Amino acid sequence: MKYCLGLFFAFTIISCYAQNDSTPTLKSILLEQLKTTHNVKDWFVPPIIAVAGLTAEQANWKDNTENHSIAQLTTHLLFWDKRALDKFTGKTQSAFNGDNKETFAPVTEKTWNAAIQSLDSVLTAWEVAVQNADEKKLKEWYSTIAHIGTHNAYHTGQILYIRKMKGWWDDNNGVK
């Protein structure tokens, strides 16, 4: 009996130490959020999956209100994610007059796939930049990085709403 009780306590102590080894860090939390608001489907659909399979014509569809098209939402995400990445990595930011409306741009048949690929590249670059960042930089930037993920998820929800409304989404595999 003492032997069994001893094994139980030893196992419990070892389990506690094992759990400490997998304690989330600021970096791991930010990376998880960036991945799930990029291309990893977890609690919700990420933007790269949300735009997959659409034509430029579908992406540019708009109702007759001030709502944005899928293309406009995609170019908006690309603009702000790239701008923040450039600042994070110390690159010179492109000129911007501050009018957010200009970040919502339509696409053409030629530029739609490039916009998707650019968004994917920028989001991948964010993941690499965070992976390579030191703790000090992450502590300075954690709020901005978290807001990037939230912003991406917000607009992805709008993209999915349009796709579902238009019948361009299949909940089983995403693309219809």
Structure tokens at 81: 């994610």
Q: What are phi and psi of 170, to 5 degrees?
A: -115, 115
Q: Is 89 helix (H, G, I), strand (E, B) or coil?
A: helix
pLDDT at residue 7 above 60? no
- In a 13 Å sphere around the CA of 27, the CA atoms on its Cβ side amount to 12
- Structural domains in the chain plus CATH codes: 25-175 (1.20.120.450)
pLDDT digits (tens, 9 = 90+) for 9-56: 444 455 555 555 689 999 999 999 999 999 999 999 999 999 999 999
pLDDT digits (tens, 9 = 90+) for 109-136: 999 999 999 999 999 999 999 999 999 9
Q: CA 93, 75, 121, 150: dihedral to nearest 10 degrees?
A: 90
What's the pLDDT score for residue 4? 47
- In a 13 Å sphere around the CA of 24, the CA atoms on its Cβ side amount to 7
CA distance 155 to 161: 10
pLDDT at residue 8 above 80? no
pLDDT digits (tens, 9 = 90+) for 133-149: 999 999 999 999 999 99
What pTM, to 2 d.p., does this model score? 0.86
